[in-house]
Amino acid sequence: MDCIKLTDIRCYGYTGYLPEEQVLGQWFEVDLTLWLDLRAAGKSDAIEDTLDYRKVISTTKNIVKNSKFALIERLAEAIAEAILEFAEVEKIQVCMTKPAAPIPDFGGKITVEILREK
């Protein structure tokens, strides 16, 4: 199966366990791997024969911006569910990163990675 990778989709959103995260918001980083058949596009060189990934990026950004979940696991699941609605996409991997987690004495990132398919 072929794949398209979309990386470093940076979005501001309001998902987080702490109340202030849902009020003040924070940045998220999303990486997507989409499995689909790219043979037709590879032969035709026509955008109508492939997935318009501009729509995937827009859908992802809208979900992050407009959702208020407690967990990034739920946010990643919402993205996977929405992108699997695209007819061309058979399987998706969502890597959702919270670059600045509000955890004392922790300067790292938190990343959730899920894999879903139709």
**pLDDT at 106 (0 to 100):** 82
Confidence at 65, pLDDT banded by 50, 70, 90: very high
Confidence at 108, pLDDT banded by 50, 70, 90: confident
Can you state the percent helix, strand and coil of the chain, rounding each to 5? 35, 35, 30
Give the catalytic positions in this structure: 98
Which CATH number belongs to the domain containing residue 80 in this structure?
Answer: 3.30.1130.10
Judge whether residue 1 has pLDDT over 80: yes
The number of folded domains in the chain is 1
Please check whether residue 67 is in contact with residue 15, taking contact to mean a CB–CB distance below 8 angstroms: yes
**Full residue range of the structural domain in which residue 103 is found:** 2-117
Phi/psi at 66 (5° precision): -105, 0
pTM: 0.94
What is the mean pLDDT of the segment spanning 70-77? 97
